[in-house]
Structures are given as C-alpha cells and as structure tokens.
Chain A
C-alpha cells in the first residue's frame, strides 16, 4: 500500500557550519554553548572566543537527546571531539537537561550577550523571537541584561504560531515572509489574537477566495502587532536587534519596523573580520554564542575549571 507522504510545511531546514580558517588545535580554550529551546536547539563551539562551528537543529521530545543531536551535528565536519571541550554551558528552555554541560545560564542573559557579539556593543534592545516565547530585553554595552519583558504563555507572536499557520496554509514556513510582499495592497491584519481562533479566521478567508499571499501578509502583520505591544511595554531604546527564528521572516520584521517606526540592525556581523570573510550570520545561534562566550570568560577569569578530558 502506498501512502502519500504528509508534507510538513513547518519543517525548516537544519544546518551546520565549521569555520575553515580556525585550527582548533592551535587554540587554547574550546568552549561550547548549547541552547536547547522548545522548538529548536543550537550548539555553538568557540575557540578562544572566536566562532569555530555551530549547528541549528529541531528539538525532539527529549532534552538530553536534543542536546546530543545538535552537538554531534556541529562536530560532524570537524575532528574536534566532545572530550576536547574545556567548558560547556547549557541554556534555553531545556538548559538543566544538557548532559555535556558543566553549568546552566538563562537564555535571557545568553541572548543579550550573543546579540552583543553578533550585532555589536551599540545594541540596547534585543528582541528574541523564539519558538514558544518572545522576549524583549534591554542591555548595556557589554550585553548585560538590565530589564526584560516576556510572553511565554500564549502562542500568538511566537515561532510555534507561525508554524501552525504554515501547516494550515500549506506553504513552507521559510517562504511566508517573501510571499507576504507579493500583494497589491496591504490587507487588514488577522483580527484574532489567539492562534486557534486565527486558524478559524484564516480558513474563512481562504473559503472567501482571498489570495494566499494576502492572508500571509495579514498574518505577519498580526504577529508584528502582537510583538510591538511587548516592545512598547518594555520601552525601546535604540539600537535595536532581533534574534531567534522569526528574525528570518522578513514579512514579520519589516512590518514590525514599520509599526515601531524603528529599523532593526542589519543582519550582518559587527566584527569587520567576520563580515569581510562572509561568515554565515544566523539569528538563531545568539543564545548558543552567549553561552559559549560566558564559558570562555569564566575560564579566563579563573571562575571555572577546565573539564577537558583529552
């Protein structure tokens, strides 16, 4: 019996990368940040505070397995082994269940620190648009958190909400942003806040024959509106940067910028070396970067002991 394979429109591609310019054996300290989120997990490997390798994977039903999966994926194109790691910090929703980590730090601290590394010290507001929550964070020039606001109770305005929508409208989740601009005129936003009620509203629009691209625009606008409320509650200070998976959805980001009247920092490396070399810039690894940097700083300041086995 042949069964039609169910297309999973929410399933975004996993990725891994190794920096060809770094020989880890010449470095002193190898640190790892493992960010096990509710929807995605990332491992970031740094050699003396420089980005060496990373992976971005889907979180499974079990946190330790998800942590191993992303660490193994980050290491798969390198001869570096877990035993060569000096210090590992776990972060994210599943941070206490990261088997290879010596310590756990909250993802709020890690995202702010990671955004500082990715986007530079001028960033004062970080918006982390995650899989099951959304956080607006204020930080100082060192990436230290001064204040934050979060929504982790409601799927509206989270990556999970966008995945539910992608599955409903049967469009791959990474295409929604660009397609949401292929419209004649910006439609009114989806009026339901709740993702479940928004689904009903979307089904109604589809049945009325509203073009799919217009519905995507309406959904992205609703999400942008929801996130604006969060940023307004926090009080936003420029410069402003976005991390997390939804940062990759231009349909949401552009509409958010328009509603806020503030442009988010360009998604390019602050460090000119990294920018010139054209290293990949991934907004989802901010938490992992922050964790790996915290690990490096702790070893350097003698606040932690190397756990290296080989």
Chain B
C-alpha cells in the first residue's frame, strides 16, 4: 500500500510518499502566502516524481503548523507526533528530539515506541529558530552553508549580547566593524541560537539519544554548537527536514491518527524588574 505524508511548515512544504515502509519520492517547496495551493502543487509534483496518480495513494496525512490547510488530507496529526514517529522509525534509540525549523523550535521527549511523553515549543520569538540563522547570515553577507563551514573553523567563543534577531543583526554588523574574524562571528551566531534551543530542550529534559531534525539540523555549525552547549552527542538522520513528513506518512500507514499532545509553550520572559 502507498501512503503520503505532508508537512506544511512556516517556510517550506515537505512531502514523502512511502510504499511498504520505503520511500518512493520526497519533494520540497516553499510554503509561500497561499499554503493550501503550495501543498496542492507540491503534491502533484510528488505524485509525478513517483509515477503515481492520486487514486494510487491509500491515505494522506498532513502535519506542520499549517497542516490543517491541506484540503485533500485524510487526517492531520500534531507536529510533535509526526516528529516522534518519523524519528523512531529512523533511530529507534532516540529519546529526545530537537526539531528546529524556519519559524519554530521544539523539543520532544519520547518513549521507546515513539510515544510523545513531553513537549515544549518556542513559536513566538525568532531567536532559536532558522530565521535567526538566515538573518545573521545576511548580515554577515555569506550563505547559511558558508556560515556553517566558517563556524567550524573558529576556536574562539565570543558571547553575543543580543537574544533578539533584530538586535542580533546590529550586533553582527558592529562585530564586523570591529574587524572580528567572520568565522568567530559565525560561531557566535550558532552558539547563541544553540543556547536558546537548549533552553527549550531542558524544559523536557535531555535524555540519550538526542536526535536533531528540521532544516536547521543540516547546519553542522549549529549542531556542533548544540553539542558543546548540552554536553551530549547529537544524532542527525539523513534528510532531517523530511522526518516530520515521513512521520506523517508512517501515521497514514498505521492508520493511528489519534494522539493527544499538549505542549509547554515557551514564553520568553522579556520584562525585567529594575532596582533603583
């Protein structure tokens, strides 16, 4: 039987089509403004790539922040459930999942069968998301890929004062003006976001094995910073940005869509009381 999983995120749509547990096709495209249309278009593309017609797919399950916009889906599962099912399929020893996408960062604690035990999310603040990395790479005038490579060359850790992406941009510019080497700035950026991500992960607790997925997992500069920050190894599966879609396809295959997942929403405390 053939199944499809569709992950509609803040920035990208990912689709995975599976047959008897193996992947037939995977496609990626921008979410854009009209999310429903983007999903529809990309689904056609995925079917074409797999040489299939709509009627060949037994069940379609959607997930992601705009998963509910997918009109042709037979069901929708929460992101955390999709992440858990995708990860446990690839790395059965996983107990903590860190998923950092373009516009959110979340940490999920899972049981041996991939059941979601605890879940925390930051979706209110760009610090600690892929958007932070994108913004800083633009300020540094290098691509995200280059920034990752540069970061690995650095042996010096400079703390960034700014937590906010807007203030961080000005800080990167002033570091450039101070003639700080680019590789040290790149590492400072990754250290900063790793700090924000790990603080979300610590809410659920870090337990071995830690698996990182989502688009930001491809950034080796970031994963190195995260390893240093948490003092643990971090496993990244191949194509980490497709894991959530794979999880949705797995859910479609098992037909188990009922999963209640309640998140601890991370609200960053920005207001400080002053002493006079």
Q: Which of A's residues lie within 8 Å of B, judged by CB?
A: 61, 108-109, 132, 135, 145-155, 160-161, 164, 192-197, 200, 203-204, 207-208, 229-230, 233
Contact = CB atoms under 8 A, between A and B. Distances in A.
A196 B126 contact: yes
Contacts of A61: 173-174, 177
Given A155-B166, A204-B33, A230 B271 contact: yes
B163 A164 contact: no
Nearest to A136: B271
B125 interface: yes
Between B165, B166, B268, the greatest number of chain A beta carbons within 10 A of the residue's beta carbon is seen for B166
B274 A149 contact: yes
Contacts of A149: 271-274
B164 interface: yes
B49 interface: no
A153 B276 contact: no
Contacts, number: 76
23 contacts: A61-B173, A132-B167, A147-B274, A147-B276, A149-B272, A153-B164, A153-B268, A153-B272, A154-B164, A155-B166, A160-B167, A160-B170, A164-B166, A192-B124, A193-B125, A195-B126, A195-B164, A196-B131, A196-B165, A197-B124, A197-B131, A200-B10, A204-B33
Contacts of B174: 61
B272 A151 contact: yes
Interface string B234-276: 0000000000000000000000000000000000101111101
B93 interface: no
B135 interface: yes
Given A148-B276, A196-B166, 18 more contacts: A148-B273, A150-B274, A152-B272, A153-B270, A154-B164, A160-B166, A160-B167, A161-B166, A164-B166, A193-B124, A195-B126, A195-B164, A195-B165, A196-B126, A197-B126, A197-B131, A204-B33, A230-B271
A195 B131 CA distance: 12
B215 to A, nearest CB: 16
Contacts of A145: 276
Contacts of A207: 33
B7 interface: no
A195 B271 contact: no
The range of chain B's interface size is: 20 to 34
A295 to B, nearest CB: 20
B184 interface: no
A207 B31 CA distance: 14
Shortest Cβ-Cβ A-B pairs, 8 listed: A155-B166, A196-B126, A148-B274, A145-B276, A154-B270, A151-B270, A196-B165, A153-B270
A147 B126 CA distance: 30
Contact of A194 (B125, B273, B276): B125
Contacts of B272: 149-153
B79 interface: no
A217 B56 CA distance: 49
B250 to A, nearest CB: 30
A61 B179 CA distance: 13
Contacts of B276: 108-109, 145-148
Nearest to B11: A200
Given A61-B174, A161-B166, A164-B166, A196 B135 contact: yes
A233 B271 contact: yes
Nearest to A39: B170
Contacts of B164: 153-155, 195
Contacts of A150: 271-272, 274
A177 B272 CA distance: 28
A207 B125 CA distance: 23
B165 A108 contact: no
A203 B103 CA distance: 15
Most buried by B among A148, A150, A154: A154
Interface in B13-49: 33
A88 B11 CA distance: 51
Contacts of B270: 151, 153-154
B274 A108 contact: yes
Contacts of B170: 160
Contacts of B273: 147-149
